[in-house]
Amino acid sequence: MLSIFDLFKKNEYVLSPEISGHLTQDGQAFANRDVYLEGGFLKHRYNDKTKTNLNGYFHFDPMIHSQWLKKSPLNQAYSYIGIYILIENEKTYLWESILGYEQPFNFIKNNLNNLNCNIRTPDYLYYFKNPVVPNGVDLMLLSRCEIKGYKRREKYESI
């Protein structure tokens, strides 16, 4: 039953779950480095920044978008997550995904809660079974981190 108070409640969309990661370069902790988080939902964009500690660990709280109106069921919502560092003023992505969801899929949560990344590792495209559409197109993300639970991966070759 819809309550009158539900009309005054904001709808929350989790763009990214809590993120905990470890950043290394050739086995050595990548200490005191800025790590950036970008998030997007519909036309809204969000940015956050943290720093690795002396052991190369970093953390982000969940990134949440709130709005008064529910998104239209006819409007396909894509949630974007980008995690990157700057090397010589160039973005080096650790993770990048654009997927249609209002709450992150389990494979996103499971990987982002313990992300291990060596910045020297090449980028891979990771493919996951579609959790929404049976026999649907696999979901894909780009990462240079250790990723779990994927169906297959292939080395990313930029154009």
pLDDT tens column, 15-60: 889 999 999 999 999 999 999 999 988 788 999 999 999 999 999 9
Q: Mean pLDDT lowest for which of 70-74, 116-120, 137-141? A: 70-74
Q: Which is more confidently placed, 68 or 110?
A: 110
Percent of the chain with pLDDT over 90: 65
The CATH code that applies to domain 12-66+75-121 is 2.60.40
pLDDT score for 68: 64
CA distance 156 to 142: 8
Give the residue-averaged pLDDT of 104-118.
95
C-beta separation of 21 from 29 below 8 A:
no
CA angle 145, 14, 98 (to 5 degrees): 50
CA-only gyration radius of the chain, Å: 17
Task: Pick the closest to residue 17 from 37, 42, 43 (CA basis).
Answer: 37
pLDDT score for 12: 76
**Which contiguous run of DSSP H or E holds residue 112?**
helix 106-112
pLDDT score for 43: 81
Give the residue-averaged pLDDT of 85-110.
91
CA distance 61 to 18: 5
